[in-house]
Chain A
Amino acid sequence: MATSFFRESLISPRKPPVSRQGLRGWLHENLFSGPVNSLVTLLVGALAIYALVPVIEWALIKAQWVGDSRADCSGDGACWVYIETRLGSLIYGFYPEAQRWRVDIVFVLFVVLGIWLMVPAVPGKKVAALVGLLVFPVVAFFLLSGGFGLEHVPTRRWGGLMLTLVIASVGIVGSLPLGIVLALGRRSSMPLVRGVCVVFIEFWRGVPLITVLFMASVMFPLFVPEDFNIDKLLRALVGIMLFWSAYMAEVVRSGLQAIPSGQGEAGAALGLGYWQRMGLVVLPQALKLVIPGIVNTFIALFKDTTLVLIIGLFDFLALIKAGTSDSSWLGFAIEGFVFAALVYWIFCFGMSRYSQFIERRLYRGH
């Protein structure tokens, strides 16, 4: 007597659920999860193809890559020849051709130092920071400007990407420490220090950068004796540094305010002095919190270096713009500005990615 609790044959396999993995699953989940989403996907896709195809065709397929004169660029596509012939002046500006190796050395040092400082696996961070803050600026200055047997190259001959990087690095390196000091000063219990810092920050935050540059370049020379001539680039650098340090101070202050007062009080209970409390307890936590804000300011600063154009300093964008008025290369402004956008995007995107990496690395889960 056989009991028939058990089936004797297998159930025929059911239709598998819509896959949640693989390309198909991803498509279903993200792009075609319902009729409305499917319609939107199709519309946006069509629009993207409609807009992108001509751009790609212009920038890549029909573009002219080799040649040496305007005559080589008669097609419908982009004329990258224009960029190629100007590349030297876009990078070095008016720097004498025979001396450009000096800029190259500074650039290599800059990259090496950057890797040393920014890649966690490379040891000796404290040495790197000292070299970067004390040795490198001096070496770079003498290499770029001249001295010790090197031919003097005045700053009015600096230009292009090199000038952009000089302004951005000086601005970044100068504004961060100054901003931290101002932020601490603004939260100080000493009325005089606090007052000075508040006035400084509110003054510099209250004027547009263009005004600062314009005053530094146009008005300043009128108010000093005629023989007393401060370099135009230096004037602009100081202006940019002071301006951005005010913004930086507010970013840092927001971090300081996010740290519970118990942290500082605990430090005081352990017998730490003000600078020890700030340097060892409060600032490391506060700065970590405001990395996105700091990098945000850096990116804004980097892009705002282009404003030096209005005081006749020839940074990267200014040379692109001036190149559009070269009478033997008229009519290639679009290529120039697309190239400029690409270069600025690479730098800013790089900074943004690095900041995200540092954030993840310093994340402590509290």
Chain B
Amino acid sequence: MSDAAGSAVDYLPELSTLAAVRPLTAAESLFHLDMPHRALGHHPGQFVQVSLPGIGEAPISIASSPTRPAGFDLCIRRAGNVTEAIHRLKPGAKIGIRGPFGRGVPIDDCMGRNVVIIAGGLGLAPLRSLIQYITDHRSRFKAVTILIGARTPETLLFPDEYGAWRSRDIKVEVTVDVSKETWLGHVGVITNLISRIDVDPDTTVSIVCGPPIMYRFVLRKLARRNLQNDHIYLSLERRMKCGMGKCGHCQINGLYVCLEGPVFRYDRIAHLPEAL
């Protein structure tokens, strides 16, 4: 157990109201929630514990920026009991929220630098929070590039938002594993896109989120572009349970992902093979 002291409030879900649901793909929808008495007060990259009484609780990354007014977004994949039940909810339904938890993206380390955001599959959901933050404070960042990989065009998240991101002087490159002939973007794995972009190792930070297996190949490619480990941030997916470093579900050796992460600077976890 960690030494972190969670207050009693951290254990108690607050009831939020489901304001809107936007289907994104066959498996994922975007849920907009309103907290009745307070703003969520999160940082990009943090997560909340979402619960339904009698069904269970699930850790979900926050998919909207704290700079956006009124409520917050959760992008939820239909994958188990809790998430299936959330997908059946209609606007007006009540959902339990604990959090926000964890450490998100260190925004201060990104400001004044070139930022390369690399997202695989559902990894774009937590990074959308950062992307919205950047679009809302665009002048604080230098060149911004977003690389997005998905299985097929149909499984891409937020494709209707890429135009707005590009209009804020952000380069957005998209690749899919396989596609029909109607697709005009790239076809292939996301590492191919890394070869195509400009990377100044001294002034660039990269934030990566995706399946663990993607990290291995993305990190290798970033190293080939001479990006140092202390310029790379990874968002680790672990099954967070309590969110307060008590239960040990997300523990990697002495590291509590729910407390010290889920976003880690790579040089701080590179020595932990279990982390990736």
- Do A and B come from the same complex? no
- Partner-A contacts on B (CB < 8 A): none
